[in-house]
Amino acid sequence: MARILYVLGVLLVVLACAEIVPLLSDLLSGNPDWMVFAVSGVLTLFLGIAMVLANANHPERLTIREAYLLTALAWFILPVFGAAPFFFSREGIGITDAVFESVSGLTTTGSTVLTGLDTFPPGLLLWRSMLQWSGGIGIIVMGIAILPLLRVGGMQLMKTEASDTSDKVLPRAKEIATGIGSAYAALTFVCALAYGFAGMGSFDAINHAMTTMATGGFSTHDDSFGYFNEPILPWVAMIFMILGALPFVLYLKAVSRGPMRLLNNAQVRFFLLFCVAVIAVLTLWVWRTMPLSLFEAFSQSAFNAISIVTTTGYTNADYTLWGSASVVFLIITFAGGCSGSTAGSVKIFRYQLMLSFLKSQANRLIHPHGVFPVTYDKREVPSEIVLSVTAFLALYLVSWFGLSVALAFTGLGFQTSVSAAAAALTNVGPGLGPIVGPGGNFSSLSDVAKWMLAGGMLLGRLELFVLFVMVTPRFWREL
Amino acid sequence: MARILYVLGVLLVVLACAEIVPLLSDLLSGNPDWMVFAVSGVLTLFLGIAMVLANANHPERLTIREAYLLTALAWFILPVFGAAPFFFSREGIGITDAVFESVSGLTTTGSTVLTGLDTFPPGLLLWRSMLQWSGGIGIIVMGIAILPLLRVGGMQLMKTEASDTSDKVLPRAKEIATGIGSAYAALTFVCALAYGFAGMGSFDAINHAMTTMATGGFSTHDDSFGYFNEPILPWVAMIFMILGALPFVLYLKAVSRGPMRLLNNAQVRFFLLFCVAVIAVLTLWVWRTMPLSLFEAFSQSAFNAISIVTTTGYTNADYTLWGSASVVFLIITFAGGCSGSTAGSVKIFRYQLMLSFLKSQANRLIHPHGVFPVTYDKREVPSEIVLSVTAFLALYLVSWFGLSVALAFTGLGFQTSVSAAAAALTNVGPGLGPIVGPGGNFSSLSDVAKWMLAGGMLLGRLELFVLFVMVTPRFWREL
């Protein structure tokens, strides 16, 4: 346990240090809210340092079970401390709402229970965006370094890809982490500049750049992207949402080998083609059924579809009002970006694997004695990984259904329960309908529903199995 | 092909002969509608005999591909000829509605596009019930004899069960078929008697007995079971709906070894426990949220839940009005009865297998080098069957999502599209909402939507893969 507590302590110290940014922001704008961050920061820092010092004599290595425990604990403890500034603020945010907002931030979900964002103190807005931004880098690192080790949901397939020795680009873990961190920071910086050039104020540009690259979707305005009138802004957002949903390892390869490396990846190609197909279908549909010009139909379809597919969750139109098209939005909620990105949800490589699997199964039905291997990126995939992915998908369904029923129990209607459960589990953010849809706000939900949804976000973010493994008796029996 | 055409011809002759029953029924009640059956019957008989005679010199054995083709063709051709009496009748039923009703009947789905059933000629009502009844026996035979051979969706697991040599009850295929046919007929007869004793008129009793044992759900009244006031009737229906959803092979064993053989089966036990759990949850929920007494809440929950879980589809309350509880009804739509019964949907044994699979996967995450076999009924299941079941579930989801989107495209709302797609694919019958829900009628849907739903019913009934295999190029290339 010492090693676990040590690492958690380090994470808390980092979180505490991060609170200096919103503190300064409030202080410089003459806003007394800086005290909120001073108090939260000192509390967090104190506990973090205590944990680090008390466990300085930790063993070097973690067992597999300890790795599970550390991963799960980090995702439970950080949101609690991340919630402190909301709770201590003068905006009258209760403990449930504070934790919900913090979980939604760190998991890069982007559902919000806060209203009146436009008049919020800048520090608190910045804190929300920073939670998403740091959640984003945490997710990339977890996806590249931890989940493949834990062999969760077929992520071991990605292990071979990230540590692909034949490529030998930045072979060591530390260098990869530094490289990816730099790529993440650089892209965020470029994104903020682009937003600024496209007409956003600098504060909005910085906040939105952080939540765009994290594919999180928190905005500094109640109307999300609908607040901005500049027609070019959604297009800038689309580019960077997609960049946030591609495997970050590829950016390192792109730097050393040229940008074509990006398109030379099976997952990226499939993801982009999928986006094009969804946008084409939606555009034609919306154009035919709504009083919009073809270009309006295209730009609104493209922005909202990319926002959902990348699990960002910005919106600039209430697509729940697009009638039947809303079914498409529920379904693409389950798409997700590429693995090794900041995106949530099921993720594209699992669908590619399932397609190859279904094809091989169909062939085996015709030729009982034929051999039809499942392939990914032209390489044969061991059946162990196929089973791992199918188990993941099955558990995803069970979780979705379970969460839907639980939400319905709290008194929510059909569309709201089903879509809110999906939006939380996939870390997308907006669901369907007047309450949890693009035009709604999660604030009117009951406290019980909010805790359920926050639990769903964590469950989805931990790729289900990290949590489910921990509720098996075997996990604890032999710890 | 000769063998395929021969068998199809035999099936058409059987269908034609069956038309004598409604013909006599109309004739005896002095109804001129008997001519409808005379015309349809003679047409069908003529074609059937022609096909039998022309292909009398057929080879003895079918290849695997021919078995697929025969199964699929039978389920496409029989509904067309089954639709003839509807189309030729004086009720003004168009070709779309006639085929929809026939497909819904033979697949034992039970969705109807006909209104004013209470004033329909008796022959046509009887024909609807007979379509379901013969569909029911066809499904049992397909489930026991054909699908395990084709190794579709893990059904090969059931092969070992039905031909379990250690038991040696009725070992030969012909005897099993005769035994099961007798059990089916006997149970239907007992069911009709029970309905009669419980207060139904004899015509209603016979019709409902046929559609109950077939877990089909066609009724002779627009209000389905809501038409009857006798409080005992739903309880009678519940017993026989459950009997229709148990593996029919077990009835043969129960006859020779005593009724405890039924409970001595892993699938049956799990199915019954599942029913109890669902009813308990629903009862408490409905009791708490609706102005009903505990007993009313219990009896309405029990009847409608069992009706959906067994994929029958009778209703006596519009549970869409039960608010959030309707989510539960959508989810249990995917349960299905036991394999080797007349029930549709996913079926219980697949969930049992998936549960064991998920447990084994979770264990493997903790112990990377441990061996945790997937088991069913305490026996180890080869991973080939696990893969087969997961492929089935994946394809089920894809089909559901695809059909939902396609229905939404025709202009239907979210709840209607999603639930109608589920109700068709699972052969349950009623969906949710005012149009396709328990209080609605499929007649107001567009023709396109009706064809899509009929396609969905066939797809579900053919356990998806029988159809999907046939659209692969490989299937045709090497035929």
| Token pair for B2 | 């000769």
Say what the pLDDT of residue B411 is: 86
Say what the pLDDT of residue B310 is: 96
Shortest distance between the Cα of B455 and any Cα of chain A, in A, equals 20
C-alpha–C-alpha distance, residues A200 and A233, integer Å? 8
Confidence of residue B479 (pLDDT cuts 50, 70, 90): low
The number of beta carbons lying within 10 Å of the beta carbon of residue A53 is: 10
Q: Do B408 and A327 touch (CB under 8 A)?
A: yes
- For residue A169, pLDDT over 50 is answered with no
DSSP summary character for residue B380: E
Between residues A127 and B170, which one has the greater pLDDT?
Answer: A127
Minimal Cβ distance to B327: which of A150, A363, A417: A417
Could you tell me if B394 lies within 8 Å of chain A, comparing CB atoms?
A: yes
Cβ within 8 Å of A, B 286-325: 289, 323-325
Could you tell me if A448 lies within 8 Å of chain B, comparing CB atoms?
A: no
Say what the pLDDT of residue A182 is: 93
Say what the pLDDT of residue B159 is: 62
Mean pLDDT, all residues of chain B: 89
What would the pLDDT profile of A412-469 be if each residue is shown by its tens digit?
Answer: 988 899 999 999 999 999 999 889 998 889 999 999 999 999 999 999 999 888 888 8
What would the pLDDT profile of B401-435 be if each residue is shown by its tens digit?
Answer: 999 999 988 989 888 999 999 999 999 999 998 89
The dihedral through the CA atoms of B188, B192, B198, B203 has a sign that is: positive
- What share of chain A in percent tops pLDDT 70? 96
What integer is the mean pLDDT of B145-154?
A: 78
- For residue A173, pLDDT over 80 is answered with no
| Of the candidate ranges A35-49, A102-116, A314-328, B214-228, the one whose mean pLDDT is the lowest | A314-328
Say what the pLDDT of residue B160 is: 47
Could you tell me if B369 lies within 8 Å of chain A, comparing CB atoms?
A: no
Phi/psi for A462 (5° steps) reads -85, 20
Q: Do A328 and B65 touch (CB under 8 A)?
A: no
Rounded to the nearest angstrom, the gap between the alpha carbon of residue B87 and the centroid of all alpha carbons in its chain is 23
Rounded to the nearest angstrom, the gap between the alpha carbon of residue A475 and the centroid of all alpha carbons in its chain is 27
Minimal Cβ distance to A390: which of B326, B394, B468: B394
Residues 6+ apart with CB under 8 A from A259: none
Could you tell me if A385 lies within 8 Å of chain B, comparing CB atoms?
A: no
C-alpha–C-alpha distance, residues B265 and A138, integer Å? 48
Cβ within 8 Å of A, B 416-445: 417-418, 432
What integer is the mean pLDDT of B262-282?
A: 92
| Token pair for B101 | 């009703």
- B357 contacts on A by Cβ (under 8 Å): 387, 391, 394
Between residues B382 and A108, which one has the greater pLDDT?
Answer: A108
Could you tell me if B59 lies within 8 Å of chain A, comparing CB atoms?
A: no
Say what the pLDDT of residue B172 is: 59
Residues 6+ apart with CB under 8 A from B35: none
What integer is the mean pLDDT of B328-343?
A: 91
- Chain pair A-B, CB pairs under 8 angstroms: 161
- For residue A23, pLDDT over 90 is answered with yes
Shortest distance between the Cα of B362 and any Cα of chain A, in A, equals 5
Shortest distance between the Cα of A358 and any Cα of chain B, in A, equals 6
Residues 6+ apart with CB under 8 A from B476: none
Between residues A291 and B477, which one has the greater pLDDT?
Answer: A291
Say what the pLDDT of residue B262 is: 80
3-class secondary-structure state, position A259 = coil
Nearest-5° Cα angle at A118, A117 to A122: 80
Q: In 3D, which of B361, B185, B396, B309 has the Cα closest to residue A463?
A: B361
Between residues B377 and A351, which one has the greater pLDDT?
Answer: A351
Cβ within 8 Å of A, B 346-365: 354, 357-359, 361-365
Is B159:B148 a contact under the CB 8 Å cutoff? Answer: yes
The helix, strand and coil proportions of chain A, stated in percent and rounded to the nearest 5, come to 70, 0, 30
Is A303:A329 a contact under the CB 8 Å cutoff? Answer: no
| Token pair for A479 | 């710890």
DSSP states along B179-223: HHHHHHHHHHHHHHHHHHHTT--HHHHHHHHHHHHTT----SSTT
DSSP states along A22-90: HHHHHHHTT-TTHHHHHHHHHHHHHHHHHHHHHTTT--S---HHHHHHHHHHHHHHHHHHHHHHHHHST
Is A24:A89 a contact under the CB 8 Å cutoff? Answer: no
Nearest-5° Cα angle at A154, A151 to A155: 65
DSSP summary character for residue B412: -
What integer is the mean pLDDT of B356-372?
A: 85
Q: Which chain A residue is nearest to residue B321, measuring alpha carbons?
A: A413
Shortest distance between the Cα of A215 and any Cα of chain B, in A, equals 25
Q: Which residues of B273-302 are buried (b: 16+ CB within 10 A; e: fewer)?
A: ebbeebbebbbebbbeeeebeeeebbbbbb
Is A157:A353 a contact under the CB 8 Å cutoff? Answer: yes
pTM of the predicted protein model? 0.86
- B414 contacts on A by Cβ (under 8 Å): 324, 326-327, 330, 415, 432
C-alpha–C-alpha distance, residues A79 and A82, integer Å? 5
- For residue A63, pLDDT over 90 is answered with no
What would the pLDDT profile of A228-270 be if each residue is shown by its tens digit?
Answer: 999 999 999 999 999 999 999 889 888 888 888 788 888 999 9
- What share of chain B in percent tops pLDDT 90? 59
Give the C-alpha distances (Å, rounded to integers) separating B336 from A7, A434, B246, B401: 48, 33, 10, 19
- For residue B95, pLDDT over 80 is answered with yes
Is B166 buried (19+), middle (13-18) or exposed (0-12) by CB count in 10 A? exposed
Cβ within 8 Å of A, B 207-226: none
List residues bridging with B73 in a β-sheet.
none
Residues 6+ apart with CB under 8 A from B87: B93, B94, B95, B98
Phi/psi for B300 (5° steps) reads -70, -40
Say what the pLDDT of residue A256 is: 81
Q: Which of B69, B356, B366 to mutate to test the interface with A (most CBs of A within 10 A)?
A: B366
Confidence of residue B163 (pLDDT cuts 50, 70, 90): very low
Q: Which of A321, A414, A463, A471 to mutate to test the interface with B (most CBs of B within 10 A)?
A: A414
Shortest distance between the Cα of A47 and any Cα of chain B, in A, equals 31
Q: In 3D, which of B439, B440, B453, B435 has the Cα closest to residue B103?
A: B453
Say what the pLDDT of residue A66 is: 85
Residues 6+ apart with CB under 8 A from B30: none
- B156 contacts on A by Cβ (under 8 Å): none
Phi/psi for A249 (5° steps) reads -60, -35
DSSP summary character for residue A146: I
Confidence of residue B166 (pLDDT cuts 50, 70, 90): very low
- For residue A287, pLDDT over 80 is answered with yes
